[in-house]
Each structure stands twice: as structure tokens, then as C-alpha cells.
């Protein structure tokens, strides 16, 4: 018997059975990954974008306070803030705290004859706020450091950390909790 190295073997290629088995394995893996993407993809991606939007807008609001940005020709005495309300769970609001009470005042023209509300930001379609540290949560950043305040509709929250829960409506198992602390850190879990 003569020994021949494998690379000199004249039978090159795959058998039909090997091709069919490998094609079946690839098809099963693709089908499973497509199913996993479909079940998590829509809700997971929308939730991820909404969570990133909240964090980015909070950081932007904090920057507005640190830089003592003017709005309507004045620097708001209370800085800038974010308002979350469970009564309208599909949006959050950015505001200028012109009267220094650390809450969003929707009545009146407190900022040089303009309202405190700067912008209403919509969450991704299907994503909503389901809970927070309070039914109405105001987070304000007062310049220059910034000093961080947590308020409900009328009273200060003494806790060093507050949170907002986001959930995808059609798949409640998909949720994100965004934390805010007195040092100005914003993070999610």
C-alpha cells in the first residue's frame, strides 16, 4: 500500500449529501435569526432609539444650563429642565425655568413674554413611559456647575436618584429604565 498525501487526492469537491446537509443547517440558522430579529427587532430597536433620544436630550439640556444659554433674550434664572408626565406618556418636554421654581409652568408667559416650554419631544412610535419616580417628574439643571434638582408637580424629591421606565407597548417585556442622579449622571439599565 502506497501512502498518498491528502492534497494529492483526485476526488475534490463535496458530495450531494454534504451539500444538502450544509444547506439545511444554514437555512435553519437563518430562519431562527430572522425569527429572533422579528420578535425583538421592531420593539427592541424602537426602544433603543427612544432611550438614546432621552439620554441625548437630557445631556443637551444640561449643556444648555452649563453654557448659560440665552432664550428669548434672557438666561433663565432656574436653568433648563426636562419634564416627564405619565398623563402624556408618549412625549417629554424641554423647558426654560424662568421663574426658578424648578418645574415646568405651562400657564403664563414667564420668559420675557414667552412660555417656559421650549419643545415637546416624541418618543419612537409604540414606545411610552410607564412609570417614573413621580407621576410628574421635573429634572432641572441650574447653572453654572450645574446643580441638579428633582421635583414633582410642586415638591422637591429628596432622593439622590430618580428614574423613568420606557416600554414597547406591544411587547411589555421590552423595557428600559433610565436613571438620573444628583451629580448629573444619566444612564440606563
Describe the strand order of the beta sheet including 186-188 as a list of residue ranges: 127-132, 161-168, 171-181, 186-188
What confidence tens digit (pLDDT) does each residue in 13-53 have? 778 888 899 999 999 998 887 776 665 566 688 889 999 99
What's the pLDDT band for 121 if we cut at 50, 70, 90? very high
Edge-to-edge strands, sheet with 136-142: 117-122, 91-96, 80-85, 136-142, 147-151
Q: pLDDT (tens digit, 9 = 90+) per residue, 135-148? A: 999 999 998 888 99
CA proximity to 103, closest of 128, 130, 118, 81: 81
| Closest C-alpha to 79, from 55, 103, 57, 52 | 103
Average pLDDT in the 161-184 region? 90
- In this predicted model, what pLDDT tens digit does every residue of 62-114 receive, in sequence order? 999 999 999 989 999 999 999 999 999 999 999 999 999 999 998 878 888 89
Q: Within a domain: residue 6?
A: no
pTM score, whole prediction: 0.77
How many percent of the chain have pLDDT more than 70?
89
Please indicate, yes or no, if residue 1 is contained in any of the structural domains.
Answer: no
Question: Mean pLDDT across the stretch 150-176?
Answer: 90
For the record, the C-alpha cell of 12 comes out as 475534490
Q: CB-based burial of residue 23 (10 Å sphere; 0-12 exposed, 13-18 middle, 19+ buried)?
A: exposed
**Residue 4 maps to a domain:** no
In terms of Cβ atoms closer than 10 Å to its own Cβ (0-12, 13-18, 19+), residue 125 is exposed
Domain of residue 43, residue span: 34-188
In a domain, 61, yes or no: yes
- Tell me whether residue 175 is in a domain: yes
Can you say how many angstroms the Cα of residue 153 is from the centroid of all Cα atoms in its chain? 23
User: According to the model, what pLDDT value does residue 150 have?
Assistant: 96
Residue 60 domain flag: yes
Higher pLDDT, 11 or 151: 151
Amino acid at each position: 500500500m502506497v501512502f498518498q498525501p491528502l492534497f494529492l487526492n483526485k476526488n475534490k469537491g463535496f458530495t450531494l449529501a454534504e451539500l444538502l446537509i450544509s444547506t439545511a443547517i444554514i437555512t435553519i440558522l437563518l430562519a431562527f435569526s430572522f425569527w429572533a430579529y422579528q420578535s425583538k427587532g421592531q420593539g427592541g430597536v424602537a426602544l433603543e432609539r427612544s432611550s438614546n433620544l432621552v439620554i441625548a436630550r437630557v445631556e443637551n439640556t444640561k449643556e444648555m444650563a452649563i453654557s448659560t444659554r440665552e432664550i428669548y433674550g434672557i438666561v433663565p434664572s432656574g436653568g433648563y429642565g426636562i419634564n416627564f408626565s405619565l398623563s402624556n406618556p408618549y412625549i417629554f418636554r424641554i423647558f426654560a425655568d424662568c421663574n426658578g421654581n424648578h418645574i415646568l409652568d405651562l400657564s403664563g408667559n414667564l420668559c420675557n413674554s414667552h412660555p417656559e416650554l421650549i419643545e415637546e419631544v416624541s418618543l419612537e412610535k409604540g414606545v411610552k413611559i410607564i412609570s417614573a419616580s413621580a407621576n410628574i417628574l421635573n429634572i432641572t439643571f441650574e447653572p453654572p456647575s450645574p446643580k441638579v434638582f428633582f421635583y414633582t408637580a410642586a415638591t422637591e424629591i429628596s432622593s439622590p436618584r430618580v428614574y423613568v421606565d420606557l416600554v414597547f407597548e406591544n411587547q411589555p417585556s421590552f423595557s428600559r429604565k433610565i436613571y438620573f442622579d444628583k451629580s448629573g449622571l444619566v444612564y440606563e439599565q
